[in-house]
């Protein structure tokens, strides 16, 4: 791995005031989605009953910052007894053409299985592979979009589980970095420790790399 990059990437919080957050439901205004990221241990988001429940994060894209993000760690603090025990994490890649109507499909990144506890739980996320990104883009509204042909094995430090370091993405191929950046992440809680299917989260944190 090249450790002497001119602009090495640093792990940062990927949630900013410009991040669009949507939830599938809210029990009432006092437990709204803004409580997910306000940093207070006293406030929370609580869904209505019923499954699944979802949280969607959409990251801002612009002409000066159009490559999206690479999420690496997800931290969640639930209320015990109201924990989303099975969570599917989906991603949506950055559109090939920022000003087009192209909209890629949601693709599974990973499943995580939080414990039914109150403490903070952190999950490591894999970097989307070239194969999964191409799959998502292949169903976009622009079928002429050319696929990336560089395989995971061609990347300098692709590990046995297909994970890729952001520094290697930059050095491997001029278009790979753009395709591996994501524009949105969705958490789908398929099961809950609550009999009625409610989910309560006090804090949500997502860290990773911004691809500028």
User: Which range among 38-47, 65-74, 97-106 has the greatest average pLDDT?
Assistant: 38-47
Query: Can you list the alpha helix ranges (DSSP code H) found in the chain?
Result: 130-137, 166-172, 176-180
Residues 67, 205: contact at Cβ < 8 Å?
A: no
Q: Is the peptide bond before 52 cis (omega within 30 degrees of 0)?
A: yes
Question: Comparing 62 with 167, which gets the higher pLDDT?
Answer: 62
pTM (two decimals)? 0.79
Confidence (pLDDT) at 25: 98
Structure tokens at 33: 């989605």
- pLDDT single digits (tens) 159-183: 444 455 555 544 444 444 445 789 9
The yes-or-no verdict on residue 193 having pLDDT over 60 is yes
C-alpha angle 20/26/29, rounded to 5°? 90
Share of residues in the chain with pLDDT > 90 (%):
58
- pLDDT single digits (tens) 94-121: 877 666 556 678 999 999 999 999 999 9
């Amino acid at each position: 791995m090249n450790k002497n990059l001119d602009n090495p990437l640093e792990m940062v919080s990927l949630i900013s005031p410009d991040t669009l957050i949507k939830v599938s439901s809210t029990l009432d205004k006092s437990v709204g989605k803004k409580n997910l990221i306000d940093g207070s241990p006293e406030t929370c988001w609580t869904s209505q009953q019923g499954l699944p429940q979802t949280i969607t994060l959409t990251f801002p894209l612009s002409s000066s910052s159009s490559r999206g993000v690479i999420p690496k760690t997800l931290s969640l603090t639930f209320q015990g007894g109201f924990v989303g025990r099975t969570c599917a994490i989906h991603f949506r890649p950055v559109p090939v053409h920022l000003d087009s109507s192209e909209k890629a499909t949601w693709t599974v990144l990973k499943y995580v299985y939080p414990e039914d506890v109150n403490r903070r739980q952190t999950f490591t996320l894999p970097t989307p592979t070239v194969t999964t990104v191409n799959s998502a883009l292949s169903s976009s509204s622009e079928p002429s979009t050319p696929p990336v042909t560089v395989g995971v094995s061609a990347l300098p430090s692709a590990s046995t589980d297909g994970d890729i370091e952001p520094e290697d993405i930059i050095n491997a191929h001029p278009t790979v970095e753009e395709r591996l950046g994501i524009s949105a992440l969705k958490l789908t809680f398929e099961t809950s420790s609550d009999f009625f299917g409610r989910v309560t989260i006090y804090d949500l944190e997502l860290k990773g790399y911004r691809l500028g």
